[in-house]
Amino acid sequence: MHPRASELISLMGLAPHPEGGYFREMFHSTVTVQPDDGRGSRSALTSIYFLLPAGAVSRWHRVRSDEAWHYAEGAPVELLELSADNARLERIALGPYGLERRPVHCVPAGRWQAARSLGDYTPVGCTVGPGFDYADFELLADLPELATRLIRALPEVQEFL
């Protein structure tokens, strides 16, 4: 592992994340909101620090809230997002602002997403509103019928299962 990635994991007390990589919750709003989709009360906003070292991936997952990814340092990160109908794959390069890179990208609620560092390591911030709750989180690997359909239509999806 890159020395800076190891340093960040240690300094920030990052732990393994179920989707891959390492994380630590940085903010959990004490203000609550009531989403209009029947989920029940949620924190208004949550934020994590998330680190992907080389070779690790953020596996295909979806969250029932909007999620903003914020590039922090290191190599650019490739963020993959499926369209609302799961028919198209978009690849977004997050990194220092430049040609075909941007520092922030928002994934709409309910969209499948995955990511990987394009270098030695990439830390990002991920902010979710209404706030993240594991009850609102799904891994594509836990839905084998859907995963199989998506792999048939978009074979590159399999790499991130």
Can you give the residue ranges of every domain in the chain?
Answer: 3-160
Q: What is the pTM of this model?
A: 0.94
pLDDT of res. 99: 80
- The pLDDT tens digits for 108-142 are 999 999 999 999 999 999 999 999 999 999 999 99
Tell me the CB-side half-sphere exposure of residue 107, using CA atoms within 13 A: 28
Give the pLDDT band of residue 98 (cuts 50, 70, 90). confident
Residue 105 CA to residue 68 CA, distance in Å, equals: 6
Q: Which residue has the tokens 């990814």?
A: 69
CATH classification number, 3-160, choose in 3.40.462.20, 1.10.3720.10, 2.60.120.10, 2.60.120.620: 2.60.120.10
What's the CA gap between 93 and 73, in Å, rounded? 13
- Which pLDDT belongs to residue 38? 92
The mean pLDDT of 7-21, rounded to a whole number, is 97
Summarize pLDDT for 64-74 with one digit per residue, the tens: 999 999 999 99
* CB-based contact 8:46 (threshold 8 Å): no
Q: Residue 63's pLDDT band (boundaries 50, 70, 90)?
A: very high
Q: 66, 60 in Cβ contact below 8 A?
A: no
pLDDT at 93 over 90: yes
pLDDT confidence of 90, banded at 50, 70, 90? very high
DSSP state of 108: P
For 93-115, what is the mean pLDDT?
95
In this structure, how many other beta carbons lie within 10 angstroms of the beta carbon of residue 138? Answer: 17
Strand bridging mode 121-129 / 66-71: antiparallel
